[in-house]
Structures are given as structure tokens and as C-alpha cells.
Amino acid sequence: RTKRQAISAEPSALDPSQLTDVTLTSYCKSKESSELIQRALMDNDFMKHLEHGQILTIMDCMRPTSLEKGCCVIQEGDDGSTVYVMEEGMVEVTKQDKKLCTIGPEKVFGELAILYNCTRTASVTALTDIKLWAIDRQDFQTIMMRTGLIKHSQYTEFLRSVPSFSSLPEDILSKLADVLEETHYSDGDYIIRQGATGDTFFIISKGQVKVSQQNSDGEEMPNEKSLSKGDWFGEQALKGEDVRTASVTAVGDVTCLVIDRESFKQLIGGLDDTPSQQKDMDEVNAKLQVEADFFSSVT
Ligand code: CMP
């Protein structure tokens, strides 16, 4: 299971109304420079999990800058405002006058203070004349924030289109969109393994999965019907149980929206309030019963 986003702009540092008004400026760059920046971002431990669209937008907004040998690019302890990608030259990273490392072309630096909203963790000095690409904090955070807002409205819209969720009130759909985590799987990946512990609920937003259960001889018996977009599984999260009663594997590329047990209980637990929602709850209970029957038959 891969996380949707391993890092995000520090929420406390963001003023959403201010950031949605920011106009992002793109800077022309050669194909070589564009590719170098993308490779650098994708190679950086803190940035590599960003979505491809975010990487492209960050690349697009990076402006060229050059500094002479001996210049201080970053001073330890300062408030940081810029993230850099090195195109040409060499810099030295020092902390309390102790050399940590040197950084050459195709590397990101200056990301920590922006990502974690802290002061500069080290000083960076140019060992040669250097050519850099730079993006300012506000642009960087705007890109993070806008992607988040777009994602949020896409999730809400998708949940509204799923029959089992369509009757949930708008504020609940919005809260679900806040808490869910998008996960991606490739063909044959186990999303859930029978017998493992787990407390997450999955809604398929793309692709197909197959469900299988072991018979008493330990053979995997695939269920005939596969599940696809809009279907859900892993609903033990509804109950106190945490042992998976079947295995679920990806058929081709699959994207799931995953909701943890607590959020599920708080936000979806009240599905039985109205007759139409009762139907959904009945479906959940029927599935749970099948799983419970199966599980008791194999134990
Ligand atoms: P930031 O703290 O914003 O500014 C100084 C930068 O130096 C920091 O981000 C990192 O990009 C880089 N840096 C800090 N510590 C190390 C380290 N131990 N190795 C490599 N780079 C570092």
C-alpha cells in the first residue's frame, strides 16, 4: 500500500484564502533543464511521493538563478523561503561549521525548512559558480494546497456517485474526502490478506479486484464475482473484529480510497437512519454475516 502523499505543506502555515488567490508564474526552460528538475525532485526523499502533476507544476514555476563561487546560498537558522534544484556547479552543506556533504547537479536542497516549516537546518555555500532553479515558499505551498483542494472535490464527487454513499449528507461526504487515503496497487497485489489483522475500509475508485477465501483444506477459492469501481470491501471496520476473512487482490491497476475504522464508525456508522440508508446497512450486514459464517466454518 503506497501513501497518497508522504509529505504536505504544513497546514498551520497556510492561509487557504490567501493561497488560492496566488497567481503562479511559469518560467521557460529547455527540455534538458525541465527533465533535470523533474529527475531531481523525483530523486529527493521528501519530494518523490508528490503526485506527478505537482512535480510538473513545481518544475514549471521554478525560476533560474545563478550565484558566484563563495556565496552563501542558505544560512543555518534563517527563516527559509526558497527550495532549490542544482543545475550546474557544487555547493557545500555545513552545520555549526561542520561539513556535512557536498551537493552537485540534479539535486534538491533547501526543502526541509519549507516542507517542515522550520528554520534552515544547515548552511549551504557555493564551492563554484552555480546555476540553480528556485521556487519560493508561497508558490510551493500554493501548488500543494491547490492539488489538495482539487483532490478533495474529486473525492466528494466520486463518493456522491457511489449508490451506497450518495444519500449521505454533504458534510459527511466532505469529511470522508478529508480523511480518506488514496492507495494504488498493481496486478496481483494483495490488498487484503485473509487472516491478517486490519481495520480499514476500501472503496474502489479505479480498476477491479478479486476476492478469494481459503477452504478448509487451505486452498484459495476465488469468488465468482469480481468487484469494481464504486464497490467496497473490508467492512469489518464496522464491527469490533479485526481479522480479515478473505483475501482481496488487484486485477490490473487498482486505486482504492481507504477509510480507517474510527472515521468509518464516526462518519458512516449512522447509515441506518433512513429507509434508503437502511438498505445499504442491510447490504453491509449481509456481507458481514457471510464473512462471519465463512470464518466460523474455517476455525
Ligand atoms: P533546509 O533546512 O531548508 O536548508 C539547508 C539545507 O541543507 C536543507 O534544507 C537540506 O536541503 C540540506 N541538508 C541539511 N542537512 C543535510 C544533510 N545531512 N545531508 C545533506 N543535505 C542536508
pLDDT tens per residue across span 128-186: 999 999 999 999 999 988 888 888 899 999 999 998 888 889 999 999 998 999 999 99
Nearest-CA residue for atom 22 of ligand 1: 93
pLDDT of residue 49 exceeding 90: no
192-245: per-residue pLDDT in tens?
Answer: 999 898 889 999 999 999 999 998 888 889 888 899 999 999 887 566 668 888
CA of 44 to the centre of ligand 1 (A): 11
Residue 23 has what pLDDT? 86
Specify whether the CB–CB gap between 200 and 259 falls below 8 A: yes
Which pLDDT score is estimated for 125?
98
Q: How many CB atoms lie within 10 A of CB 52?
A: 9
pLDDT of residue 163: 87
Residue nearest atom 9 in ligand 1 by C-alpha distance: 110
Q: List alpha helices for the chain, DSSP H.
A: 16-20, 31-43, 52-61, 112-115, 137-161, 163-166, 170-179, 261-263, 275-298
Three-state DSSP state, 253:
strand
Q: What is the ipTM of this complex?
A: 0.89
Find the 111 Cα to ligand 1 centroid distance in Å.
7
Helix (H/G/I), strand (E/B), else coil: 262: helix
What does the alpha-carbon distance between residue 179 and residue 123 come to, in Å, rounded to a whole number? 37
Taking the C-alpha atoms of residue 22 and residue 138, their distance in angstroms, rounded to an integer, is: 8
| Residue of the CA atom closest to atom 13 of ligand 1 | 122
pLDDT at 251: 96
d(CA 75, ligand 1 centre) in Å: 11
Q: Residue 40 has what pLDDT? A: 97
The pTM score is 0.60
